Amino acid sequence: MSRFLVVGLGNPGSEYAHTRHNIGFDVVNSFAQKHNTSFRSDRLADVAEVKWKGKYFICIKPTTYMNLSGKAFKYWLDKEKIALENSLVIVDELALPLSKLRLRGSGSAAGHNGLADIEQALGTDKYPRLRFGIGNNFPKGMQADFVLGKWFPEEKEIVKQKIEKSVEVIENVFVMGLERMMNQVNIMEFKQADGK
């Protein structure tokens, strides 16, 4: 059975639950729920296992806090003997509008502390990541409050659509291959039901 590591980035603790910065946690939670499994506490992360269509997904939500995400990622990658190209990191992205998802096989951390720590821990930036656009709708100097804040009511419908699509990406990226999945996902534009 092929093995894959799915890493949702976020911060542990109820005060961070369902904030923009924790969208990685929300996506892997959704994936686990869809496949009728739940998370347990384990070393450096909460862990859930999904067996689906001959594939074995180990899903982790690091409990190390965002800025030390690499420690948990590397530990579980090594422990489960999973090839780096068989991993997927789900992360919030300020530089993308809320209407977009962006799948990439490599790339810079672009100021994201979680990705920077992963790059440092792995010694490479060549690992697949799904960047979940959160937009940058905040006044100057308020970036931290925005990132650690909850979604605005008018954003929630698009967020829900994108979480559902992200779950499909997890299911299909290792079947279809990264290139084909990128071509499909990166051109998508998510809109509210009223077309906004």
Residue 109 maps to which CATH number?
3.40.50.1470
136, part of any domain? yes
CB < 8 Å & 24+ apart, contacts of 113-120: 113/66, 113/67, 114/9, 114/66, 114/67, 114/69, 115/9, 115/69, 115/89, 115/91, 117/66, 117/67, 117/68, 117/69, 117/70, 117/71, 118/69, 118/70, 118/73, 118/89, 119/70, 120/70
192, part of any domain? no
Q: Which residues are catalytic?
A: 21
Domain count, the chain: 1
190, part of any domain? no
- What pTM did the predictor assign? 0.96
What string of pLDDT tens digits covers the 196 residues of the chain? Answer: 799 999 999 999 999 999 999 999 999 999 999 999 999 999 999 999 999 999 999 999 999 999 999 999 999 999 999 999 999 999 999 999 999 999 999 999 988 999 999 999 999 999 999 999 999 989 898 999 999 999 999 999 999 999 999 999 999 999 899 999 999 999 999 987 665 5
9, part of any domain? yes
Domain limits for position 181 = 2-185
